[in-house]
Amino acid sequence: MARKYKTLQTWIEEALSDTEKEAPLAGLSLVYKKPEGGSKVVYDVKIAGKTWDVAKLTDLFTGKAEAFAQDLPGIQRFELQAFYKDRREPESTHNFIVSDGEISQGGRERVVKEDASASGLTAQLMRHLERKDQILTEVVQTFAATSLQQRVNDQNRMDKMQEELNDAYTIVREMVIRETQGQHEMRMKELQFQRDSENSKTMWRLAPALVNGASGKEVFPQATADTALIEGLANYVTPEKLKMLIEMGAIPQEAAAPLLLRLNQIAQQKQAEAAAAKELPPAKNTNGGIS
C-alpha cells in the first residue's frame, strides 16, 4: 500500500495538536533552502497564546513561499519548522517545493519527479542546467561588483593623491614667493646701502672745498679741495658727457684735456672697486637663503 502524501495543511494541523511534545507549539518558521547551500528565514509566526485557523495558517505560509519564489525559475525548496517552548532548534520539519511560482505538494499535484526514468532524467538535467546558469550569473555579478568597487577605490585613491599634490604645490609656491620677496627686499637694502655709501663718499670728498669756502681760509690744502671737487663732479659727469661739452664749446680744449684724463682715472678706479666688490662672498638673506 502506497504511503499517503502529507500536505502542508495536514502537517500544520498535526503540529498544532501534537500532544507528544513536552510543551505546546510556540512558533512556526518558513525557511528557504538555497540551491547552492545554506538557508534563509522567510517568515516567522508566534503560535503560543493565540488561536489559529489551520486553513488560514496554511494559506499564509503558502502565499509567503509562492511570493518569495515567484521570480525564481525552476524548482525552489522550502522547509516549515516547528518550535516548541523556548528551544532554539526545531523539533519537527516539513519540506515542500514551489515550482515556477506555485506550490507543488506531490501526489496528483506533483508533476515533476527526478526518479529513474526518462522524465526524471530530463527533470534532473534541466535542474542541473538551471543551476549552472545561476552559478554563471552569480560569478558575473560578483566579478562586475568587484570590478566596480576596484574602480571606485582607484578613483578615490587618485582624488586623494591629487589633493595632496595640490597641497604640496601650494606650499612650494608660497615658499618660492617668500624667497623671492626676501631676495627683493635684500636687493633693495643693498641698493639703498650703495646710495647711502656714495652720498657719504661724496660729502666727505666735498668737505674740504666746503670748509675752505665757508671759512674763507685754506683750512685744507687747495689741492685736496680741488681733488674732492673733481671726484664729486665725476659722479655726475662722465667722460662722454664731458666730450659733448667740449664739442659744444662750453669747455676750452686746453682745460678739457687734463679734466678728461682725471675723469677717466676716476672711472677706472670705480670699475676696479666694483670688480673687487663682486669677489666678496655673497650675503645671506633673512630667510636663510643665498642672495
Q: What angle do CA 262, 263, 265 make, to 5 degrees?
A: 65
Backbone angles phi, psi at 189, to 5 degrees: -65, -40
For residue 240, pLDDT beyond 50: yes
Contact 35, 128 (CB under 8 A): no
Q: What is the mean pLDDT of residues 92-105?
A: 85
For residue 134, pLDDT beyond 70: yes
Contact 230, 267 (CB under 8 A): no
With a pLDDT cut of 70, the percent of the chain lying above it is 76
pLDDT of residue 79: 94
| Among the listed residues 165, 11, 175, the one whose alpha carbon sits nearest the alpha carbon of residue 90 | 11
C-alpha distances out from residue 91 to 10, 27, 275, Å: 17, 11, 108
pLDDT of residue 63: 94
pLDDT averaged over every residue in the chain? 80
User: Of 152-156, 160-164, 250-254, which range is least confident?
Assistant: 250-254
Taken in order 247, 253, 259, 263, the sign of the CA dihedral is positive
With a pLDDT cut of 90, the percent of the chain lying above it is 29
pLDDT of residue 260: 73
Q: Reduce the DSSP state of residue 42 to 3 states and report it.
A: strand
Q: Reduce the DSSP state of residue 268 to 3 states and report it.
A: helix
For residue 1, pLDDT beyond 50: no
Domain boundaries, the chain: 8-110
Q: What is the mean pLDDT of residues 148-176?
A: 92
For residue 118, pLDDT beyond 60: yes
Q: Give the confidence band of 278 by pLDDT, cuts at 50, 70, 90.
A: confident
**Measured between alpha carbons, how far is 211 from 214 in angstroms, rounded to an integer?**
5
pLDDT tens readout for residues 3-14: 677 889 999 998
Q: Residue type for 86, please? A: D
Q: Give the confidence band of 290 by pLDDT, cuts at 50, 70, 90.
A: very low
Give me 169's grid cell: 604645490
For residue 291, pLDDT beyond 50: no
Beta-sheet pairing, 25-33 with 102-104: unpaired
Q: What is the mean pLDDT of residues 57-83?
A: 91
pLDDT of residue 73: 81
- Structure letter (DSSP) for residue 81: E
**What helix, strand, coil percent values describe the chain, rounded to 5?**
60, 15, 25
Q: Which fold has domain 8-110?
A: Immunoglobulin-like (2.60.40)
C-alpha distances out from residue 30 to 82, 90, 193, 230, Å: 9, 11, 96, 118
Q: Give the confidence band of 24 by pLDDT, cuts at 50, 70, 90.
A: confident
**Measured between alpha carbons, how far is 119 from 68 in angstroms, rounded to an integer?**
27
For residue 108, pLDDT beyond 50: no
pLDDT of residue 99: 84
Query: How many CB atoms lie under 10 A from the CB of residue 61?
Result: 23
Backbone angles phi, psi at 97, to 5 degrees: -120, 155
Q: What is the mean pLDDT of residues 33-49?
A: 88
Q: What is the mean pLDDT of residues 38-67?
A: 91
**Measured between alpha carbons, how far is 77 from 106 in angstroms, rounded to an integer?**
13
pLDDT tens readout for residues 178-235: 989 888 888 888 888 877 777 776 666 666 666 666 666 665 565 555 666 666 666 6
Q: Give the confidence band of 144 by pLDDT, cuts at 50, 70, 90.
A: very high
Query: Which residues does 81 contact at the CB level (< 8 Å), separation at least 6?
Result: 28, 29, 30, 31, 90, 92, 93
pTM: 0.40
